[in-house]
Amino acid sequence: MSFIINKFGGVVGKSIQKKPQRSLQLLKAGYYVSGKQMKHLPNQKLLPHQRYAAVISNGAIRAPLERPENSAVVSVFMPCEMLHASDITPQFTEGLACYLNGAGCEQAFIHLAEDKGIPQTYCSYHKILLGAALSGVLPKPRFIANTTLACDANNNTFRTLSDFWGVPQFTLDVPDRETPDTVAYVAGQLSDLKSFIEEVMGKKLKDEDLKTIIRRENSSIQLYRRYFEELAKKNLPNNMTSEMYKIFMTHILFGTKAAKRYFELLLKDTQTAADSGKEIRIIWVHTLPFWQDSLKNIFNQSGKYHLLCCDMNFDSMIELDESRPYEAMAQKLLCNTMRGPGKRRTEKILETAKALHADGIVYFCHWGCKQTLGNAYPAKEQLDNAGIPILILDGDGCDTGNVNDGQMHTRLQAFLEILEARK
């Protein structure tokens, strides 16, 4: 992390309790300046789709800070089609935590949350969000919407924030199996969510606007599938931050014009990329510690090690039936590989690894994520039996103070050397 960012983060951190509005203004100004820099003076090492993602993701974080009265705080797996159809800006919990990390101030929010009784073992993404809210830095949204999918922290975090801010909360309960009954159950909740949004915002959600979002999302999914077909035979320069930005497009921004444009650029860049050769091809499982220099130095824009993708970016890739939008969105949630037994997730990872000719898998156990931690060794056994080498790495996707950097680097480098020898 650069001296300037450290300095900036320190200034923000010192103000969060006594002058929270000053911290907020500093963050908004910092993100505004960095957004302009990304747009007008982009990193020339990045491909067009990566430069575009940096700008769009920055705007997606900044907009709810500028207009909180038109925003909703959401979890990563929350379907946001109805929000976009209603012109409501989602404030993406995990994305915001990453941006506060990028501003060098996540430690201050983590410490504040822990001082208020949040356990050290709690997920750092949620601790950062809670610290930002409880300090008064994060402005109050219009409402909160979250799912129960995958993350145990969701219920506690969002219930706490709803009480603290005094705003309504909608929790979408996602069962652990897909049957006609559970599809109908989730679809009914999504229909209730429409009524909830209309009541809170005081305006009707037009069915045609929702269909427009779904059509655009389907077009994006078609482009995305073609990208995976191309990626199987290409060496596309990638980096950990750009792969993290992709989560904005595959989740929170799906269905927007910006996301569709991203997938168009992604496909074009992949089609024109060099053919696959002797590079070591890696699939990353779970969140990405995009800030960790030792890992960035290995993967970022490397010609030797190809970071193919993160499994969170292919967790649910089905097209939606616009004539049955609530049932379709329910099926999208229920077919998500993060839902249900860990074996389902591993099967999808294995399927994708074979399709993309991956040489190995890095399974990242993010601190506090029970689902990923609990599935690590069953996944290893399943992948080992299929002949896919796997490295389990323990770390933290967002807390710079909770990492054994040297050990992680050594183990990753040794794993890659083994893959090179196999190649």
Domain residue spans of the chain: 3-422
**Kind of pairing between the strands at 234-235 and 360-366:** unpaired
Residue 338 contacts residue 368 (beta carbons within 8 Å): no
Both tokens assigned to 313: 């970016």
Residues β-bridged to residue 364: 393
3-class secondary-structure state, position 75: coil
Task: Output the CA–CA distances (angstroms, integers) from residue 28 to 99, 157, 160, in the order listed.
Answer: 11, 24, 25
**Kind of pairing between the strands at 390-395 and 305-310:** unpaired
Residue 365 contacts residue 373 (beta carbons within 8 Å): yes
pLDDT tens digits in sequence order for the chain, 423 residues long: 577 888 999 999 999 999 999 999 999 999 999 999 999 999 999 999 999 999 999 999 999 999 999 999 999 999 999 999 999 999 999 999 999 999 999 999 999 999 999 999 999 999 999 999 999 999 999 999 999 998 888 889 999 999 999 999 999 999 999 999 999 999 999 999 999 999 999 999 999 999 999 999 999 999 999 999 999 999 999 999 999 999 999 999 999 999 999 999 999 999 999 999 999 999 999 999 999 988 999 999 888 999 999 999 999 999 999 999 999 999 999 999 999 999 999 999 999 999 999 999 999 999 988 889 899 999 999 999 999 999 999 999 999 999 888 899 999 999 999 999 997
Q: Burial level of 181, CB count in 10 A (0-12/13-18/19+)?
A: exposed
Cα 44 to Cα 217: distance, rounded to the nearest angstrom? 29
Q: Which of 109, 3, 52 is nearest to 398 (CA)?
A: 109
Task: Output the CA–CA distances (angstroms, integers) from residue 221 to 227, 228, 251, 319, 330, in the order listed.
Answer: 10, 11, 11, 7, 17
CA–CA–CA angle 314, 235, 35 (5° rounding): 65
Cα 52 to Cα 60: distance, rounded to the nearest angstrom? 12
**What CA dihedral angle connects 339, 342, 348 and 354, to 10 degrees?**
170
Alpha-carbon Rg for the chain in angstroms: 21
Cα 149 to Cα 286: distance, rounded to the nearest angstrom? 14
124's CB contacts (< 8 A; 6+ apart) are 97, 106, 110, 366, 367, 368, 396, 397, 398, 399, 402
Per-residue model confidence (pLDDT) at position 289 = 95
Residues β-bridged to residue 63: none
Cα 74 to Cα 264: distance, rounded to the nearest angstrom? 26
Cα 247 to Cα 260: distance, rounded to the nearest angstrom? 13
Cα 390 to Cα 247: distance, rounded to the nearest angstrom? 23
Q: Burial level of 87, CB count in 10 A (0-12/13-18/19+)?
A: exposed
Per-residue model confidence (pLDDT) at position 1 = 58
